[in-house]
Amino acid sequence: MTTRTELGAAVRAWRERVSPQEAGLPGGGDRRVPGLRREELALLVGISVDYLVRLEQGRATHPSAQVLAALSRALRLGGSDRETLYRLAGAVPPPSGSVPREVPRGVRRMLDRMSDTPVAVFTAAWDIVQWNALWAELVGDPAAMDGRDRNLVWRHFAEPAGHPSRVRRDPDEEDAFEREMVSDLRRAMDRYPDDRAVSELIAALIETNPRFAERWARFEGVPTAPARKTIVHPVHGPVELDCDVLTIGGGDLRIVLYSAEPDSPEAVVLENLRSGVPDVTMSSHRG
């Protein structure tokens, strides 16, 4: 399927899933197809019905940025759907707003039930915004940190006093981790150029850390990060755990969690940590 045909198919699919009421139009009447009629979408976007027909049939190429923005609003696209619209049209999606920090309610409820797993939520720029008590016991309590010290990239490169990282990496793992973090920060800056906190964080890292500045200037590719991490706990010593990073669709947030094989020595360490935690509800920071 060509990109033009895919764009038309995508627009039709999105049009059929938006109700008139959601689009601010009166509903009712004899509707033979679900969602918006072509006439209704064309009215909302400010284009002719004929142009919309040609767009959906793959006969209209390269819609303008104004048409794409209006389509995105009228079809109520967000996150990945918005990016898909622009990609299929051969355009670059314009950046929007600030780095999202709000954790969806459903995700918060899910995380509240994960009391036996160290888990935390980070923004696209690697600011921690939510975590559970087992995470705090394993890697250190973010509640004891302020400002930039809550940012994973800043803590790694700036090494603020009083909050050393408990993650131990060999040179290859260190190289892969730093390349990944720098690439993620560049992606966050590109997607949210109006977010002053991100641009100021990058400027401060370039000014204060020559290693970060050198990596920033390289525009390096991102290697596959190791799926296992070694955490050096102050009481239990080195603990090797699986580390998985999940993306929250539409929110540009990351869920990071550690786990161990059942009945392994590492699983026993996690259970011992959990048994000593009086409150396993999620904590958050909305600064």
User: Between 8 and 32, where is the model more confident?
Assistant: 8
Cα–Cα distance list, 50 to 33, 57, 73 (Å): 19, 11, 20
Q: What is the pLDDT of residues 41-61, one digit of tens each?
A: 999 999 999 999 999 998 887
Scan for tokens 């009447």, then name that residue: 29
Query: Which domains, and CATH codes, for the chain?
Result: 3-88 (1.10.260.40), 105-284 (3.30.450.180)
Q: How confident is the model at residue 2 (pLDDT cuts 50, 70, 90)?
A: low
Scan for tokens 């800043």, then name that residue: 154
User: Between 140 and 94, where is the model more confident?
Assistant: 140
Name the percent of the chain lying above pLDDT 70: 90
Angstrom distance (rounded) from CA 47 to CA 197: 38
Taking residue 255's Cβ as centre, other Cβ atoms within 10 Å add up to 19
Task: List alpha helices for 142-264, DSSP H.
Answer: 152-158, 171-191, 196-208, 210-218
Q: How confident is the model at residue 287 (pLDDT cuts 50, 70, 90)?
A: very low
Q: What is the pLDDT of residues 76-134, one digit of tens each?
A: 887 678 888 998 999 888 766 788 888 888 888 888 899 899 999 999 999 999 999 99
pTM of the model: 0.71
Q: Are 205 and 154 contacting, i.e. CB atoms less than 8 angstroms apart?
A: yes
